Amino acid sequence: MPTKRHRKCGLRLILNALLYLKKSGCQWHLLPNDFPPYPICFYYFQRWQADGRWAHLNKSLVQQERQQPAP
């Protein structure tokens, strides 16, 4: 994802937090302290969901996972 400005929290860290939430099913306010504060993560999730970026990221990750050979 292109970045146009300086951020306090990296987008990769925010994406990791969102993937953690998706996998674990925990509540927003129970995110571990290793991730950015949950209001920041929630803001990006809402923004990415509204513009379709979240669905595109999810589709891309699923395609990459399916293309990897089975162990």
Question: Is 30 part of a structural domain of the chain?
Answer: yes
Of 3, 20, 19, 23, the residue nearest 11 (C-alpha): 3
| Domain enclosing residue 50, as ranges | 11-64
Count up the domains in the chain and report the number: 1
Q: Mean pLDDT over residues 17-31, rounded?
A: 93
> Is the pLDDT confidence value at 61 over 60?
yes
Model's pTM, two decimal places? 0.76
* Higher per-residue confidence, 35 vs 3: 35
Mean pLDDT, the chain, integer: 88
Q: 65 vs 8, 44, 56, 69, CA distance in Å? A: 30, 24, 14, 9
- Is residue 2 domain-resident? no
11 pLDDT higher than 70: yes
Answer whether residue 20 is part of any domain: yes
Top pLDDT among 13 and 7 is at 13
Examine residue 33 and state whether it is found in any structural domain, yes or no: yes
| Amino acid, res. 40 | I
